[in-house]
Amino acid sequence: MATRTRRSQRRTEALSRERIVEAAVELLDTAGESGLTFRALTERLATGPGAIYWHVANKDELLDAATGAVVAAALAAEPAARAEAAESADPAELAKSAESTKPAESPDSPQDKIRAIAFGLFGAIEDHPWLPTQLALQLSRSPWGSVTPQIFESIGQQVRALGVPEGHWFTAASALVHYILGATGQNAANNASARTLAPDVDRAEFLDAASKAWEELDPDDYPFIRAVAAQMREHDDREQFLAGIDLVLTGITALHLPGEQGRTTPPAT
């Protein structure tokens, strides 16, 4: 802890948009969304606010760039993500789901690639819990800004590879992306609140507490949540997340399967 981000050191390197975005991500990671201010940024970069505004139009653009950088990294890490997931998840659980009666599906099937993309984003929130919130904010700022299309595109390509009829591409890709972003956001929030409420306590204990809180809800108003509280206690985040992906994938597959008994709506013609 001798040379801890000495500002005199940094001063030598030239300021650039890239370095600013990098510093913004670091600040978001370590100090949270409220920790990213222009003053904190200028201190970290040893400059004045004017210098930052030379490279970046405003705070929103900076936030978008930070979000974009992290998402791009997560999507690029696709192949590695699966291995990492296997490593950090409960080995017993993983083995169980791997060996059981899964239908024939090639190792690099579109399904697997979709899971890999999803897992890449899911994993990114561990280091960047602010990601889902910023994705939502960016969506509201500019719906078809740069980040969402990246995710939509990478998922969409696999949807196409899945053999989904063209008329359903948009619907199928949207359903997957929305599920992924929603579940990712939910999980980031859970993590954050686990850390905030009890920083020293581990995840399992937090889930236990949360599940108890659920069980104490008014049975008349919240019968379902109460009933589901028990499941919550012993659920594994990654497993749950994957189960949701597979559920949506099942729905998508049904769009072009011959015997379409589960369908509730006609194709869009």
User: Which 110-149 residues touch its own copies, going by CB under 8 A?
Assistant: 111, 132-133, 136-137, 139-144, 149
- Backbone phi and psi for residue 165, each to the nearest 5 degrees, phi listed first: -60, 140
Task: Point out which span in 7-15, 20-28, 74-82, 164-172 binds its own copies (CB under 8 A).
Answer: 164-172
HSE (CB half, 13 Å, CA atoms) of 82?
12
| Residue 36 binding: pick among its own copies, DNA, none (C-beta 5-8 Å cut-off by kind) | DNA
Give DSSP secondary structure letters for 115-182.
Answer: HHHHHHHHHHHHH-TTHHHHHHHHHHH-TTSSHHHHHHHHHHHHHHHTT--GGGHHHHHHHHHHHHHH
Comparing CB distances to its own copies, the nearer of 11 and 141 is 141
Applying CB under 8 A, the span of 20-28, 53-61, 84-92, 245-253 interacting with its own copies comes to 245-253
* Segment near its own copies (CB under 8 A); pick from 22-30, 53-61, 70-78, 180-188: 180-188
Give whichever of 60 and 108 is closer to DNA, judged by the CB atom: 60
Site for DNA in 3-42 (CB under 7 A): 14-15, 36-40
The answer to whether residues 118 and 241 touch, using CB atoms and an 8 Å cutoff, is: yes
Per DSSP, 90 falls in state -
Per CB under 7 A, contacts with DNA among 67-96 are none
Give the Cα separation of 218 and 106 in Å (integer).
Answer: 47
Minimum Å gap between C-beta 57 and DNA is: 8
Q: To 5 degrees, how large is the angle CA 38–CA 65–CA 134?
A: 85
Give the total of residues touching its own copies (CB under 8 A).
85
Distance CA 247, CA 4 (A): 47
Among 48, 126, 193, 204, binds its own copies (CB under 8 A): 193
Structure-token pair, residue 10:
């940094």
Question: What gap in Å lies between CA 134 and CA 138, rounded to an integer?
Answer: 6
Between CA 144 and CA 44 the distance in angstroms is 32
Q: Which stretch binds DNA (CB under 7 A): 50-58, 174-182, 197-205, 250-258?
A: 50-58
Give the three-state DSSP class for 240: helix
Q: Residues 15, 29, 210, 215: which binds its own copies (CB under 8 A)?
A: 210
Site residues for its own copies, window 80-99 (CB under 8 A)? 97
Task: Tell me the residue type at 51.
Answer: A
- Cβ 128 to DNA shortest distance, Å: 18
Q: Does residue 106 sit in helix, strand or coil?
A: coil
Q: How far is the CB of 33 from DNA (least distance, A)?
A: 10
20 versus 114: smaller Cβ distance to its own copies: 114
Out of 5, 32, 43, 53, the only residue in the binding site for DNA (CB under 7 A) is 53
Q: Catalog residues that contact DNA under the rule CB under 7 A.
A: 14-15, 36-40, 46-51, 53-55, 58-60
